[in-house]
Amino acid sequence: MSIHDLVTSVHSLSPPSEQIPPPTSSDSSREGIPPDLEPILRQPVPDWIRPSEGAEFPADGKLVVEGEIPLIQGGPPAPIDELAYYLPFHFYATGWGIYLRASGILQVASMLVSASRGGLSFSEDVTNLAAAILLQHERFHFFTEVACARAELLLYSTLYQNYFHDQGATAIEEALANAHAFRTSLRGQAGAVCNQVKQWMLSQGPGYRDFTRCLSPATFTKWRRMAIQRMQLHDSSLVLSRSAMRMRGTSVSASPTKLRLQPRGLPAQPMPTEFLFEGVARARAPVFLVQDIATIGVLRPFPKFAGLRVLVHTRDHPPPHIHVEIPPGRDLTRLEWPSLQPLPGDPVLSGSQRESLNRYLSRYREEIDQKIRQVYHPPK
């Protein structure tokens, strides 16, 4: 099932309200929660988010740094969900997705540069690494919502609204989100950089700091099962079959037309419910960059062809120009548009590279020109 179909099905169960709704019921039990894990409130939607605003960050896009960016001195960055945020599709029909704050990326990038002790300079690679840490944390929130939506369709029941406000579930999910970000974003990075990110995550408070308890594949699976357990506590499904209820180990209260599920509690050990997360990494949530500082922008990539790729800014940064990667993924030069002259300080294309670019432009010139006109000469 595609994400579009999943979202459409979820909205048929419970139409979105374009805001975070309050819970319809609460469960303060500690079933399925480690005894020493402190429940926490879900972070509210930050005031810097405006749904559907911000530059869309394509799945194969990249961030670009233009001009000098001063390092942010001082302590560690703010808590991660103040620097980035995920708006759930259960609650938003439009504008749902991941929001990355440019100034938040700058905070994390500054931490990485400082931690490297001269091993890293402020570059686009560091900026994209900082963005990846924030992005992967928020992606796990998306993965969890997808898993919950799958459970809802299986049960034909609404789970997510009350799960979202479940403080025990929130602590579990934030630990998993930090663990996912740490596991996926920092592969191959220097030990000093990894340790600095670890210390930052440990300083983020209950739930977030517990990520070290679910870093291994086995513990990560165990904690995902615990998250699903908390979803099960909010099962409000109505079924018509007494025999189906008996199979599920539930008691029954009857009405003339409906039988309501009365859960007896969760099993002593988490069930192997992680199949609900199966394949979620292939799913894509919309990603937006909230550009509250002008020096970090998004490059929108065009297709790979003729051994190269062209990328274009998603916001005005004069003069109009394109970024050329030869081979794709390796920055080579920036060329003014439409003259194709290198920007000051950028290398000149060789004869063969120019020939490849001409082949590329014979196919994509019109699309590139249209995009540049949208960015630099938007309609009034």
Task: Report if residue 294 sits inside a domain.
Answer: no
Does residue 297 contact residue 312 with C-beta atoms inside 8 Å? no
Verify that 266 and 347 share a domain, yes or no: no
Predicted confidence band of residue 1 (pLDDT cuts 50, 70, 90): confident
Check the CA dihedral 369-103-172-19 and report its sign. Answer: negative
Does residue 96 contact residue 88 with C-beta atoms inside 8 Å? yes
Task: Report if residue 293 sits inside a domain.
Answer: no
Residue range 300-322: average pLDDT? 85
DSSP assigned state of 362: H
Task: Report if residue 297 sits inside a domain.
Answer: no
Boundary residue ending a domain (220, 253, 287): 287
Residue 92: count of CB within 10 angstroms of its CB: 19
Task: Report if residue 292 sits inside a domain.
Answer: no
Task: Report if residue 296 sits inside a domain.
Answer: no
Verify that 256 and 324 share a domain, yes or no: no
Return the pLDDT at 254.
Answer: 41
Q: What percent of the chain clears pLDDT 70, i.e. is strictly above it?
A: 81
Higher-confidence position of 144 and 273 = 144
Predicted confidence band of residue 266 (pLDDT cuts 50, 70, 90): low
C-alpha gyration radius of the chain:
24
Residue range 22-48: average pLDDT? 86
Type and span of the H or E element at 299? strand 296-301
pLDDT digits (tens, 9 = 90+) for 238-258: 433 344 444 445 444 444 333
Domain range enclosing 308: 302-376
Task: Report if residue 321 sits inside a domain.
Answer: yes
Closest CA to 290 of 96, 101, 104, 103: 101
Return the pLDDT at 245.
Answer: 42
Residue range 86-103: average pLDDT? 93
Q: Is 114 helix (H, G, I), strand (E, B) or coil?
A: helix
Which residue in the block uniquely carries the two structure tokens 């992967």?
A: 136
Higher-confidence position of 75 and 106 = 106
Boundary residue ending a domain (259, 287, 315): 287
Whether residue 236 has pLDDT greater than 80? no
pLDDT digits (tens, 9 = 90+) for 323-344: 999 998 888 999 999 999 999 9
Please enumerate in sequence order all residues whose Cβ is within 8 A of that of 101, keeping only pairs 6 or more positions apart, or say none: 46, 48, 83, 84, 290, 292
| Number of domains, the chain | 2
Return the pLDDT at 378.
Answer: 66
Instruction: Give this prediction's pTM.
Output: 0.79
Task: Report if residue 77 sits inside a domain.
Answer: yes
Verify that 329 and 247 share a domain, yes or no: no
The residue type found at 295 is T
How far apart, in whole angstroms, are the C-alpha atoms of residue 274 and residue 147?
A: 9
Enter the tokens of residue 305.
Answer: 């062809």
Verify that 349 and 204 share a domain, yes or no: no
Verify that 163 and 273 share a domain, yes or no: yes
Task: Report if residue 209 sits inside a domain.
Answer: yes
Verify that 358 and 260 share a domain, yes or no: no
Predicted confidence band of residue 66 (pLDDT cuts 50, 70, 90): low
Measure Cα distances from 362 to 113, 146, 331, 332, 367 in Å. 41, 41, 21, 20, 11
